[in-house]
Amino acid sequence: MKAILNMYDSCSEEIEVGVGDFVVANTDEFGLKERQKYEILEVNSFDMITIEVYEGHTDMYSIEYFDEYKLSK
């Protein structure tokens, strides 16, 4: 399963991301740090992903809080 990055932004191209890809936060809210890169650990649905927020703590987030990505290794 893939999540669709930028699906809520009609001005940006939609990008499919999956487990092992990296996303970059666009907010300092909800425990995220803006401009920090996070690895996708699980795709929960087309618009929800699970990441490790900080060492030992994972959480599920909407893709709307991420607007860039880096391919996995």
Distance of CA 54 to the CA centre of its chain: 14
Segments in the chain below pLDDT 50: none
**Single pTM value for the model:** 0.86
pLDDT in tens, 15-26: 899 999 999 999
pLDDT value for 72: 59
Cβ neighbors of 22 (< 8 A, separation 6 or more) are: 37, 38, 39, 40, 69, 70, 71, 72
For each of the domains in the chain, give its residue range(s) and CATH number, in order of start. 3-70 (2.30.30)
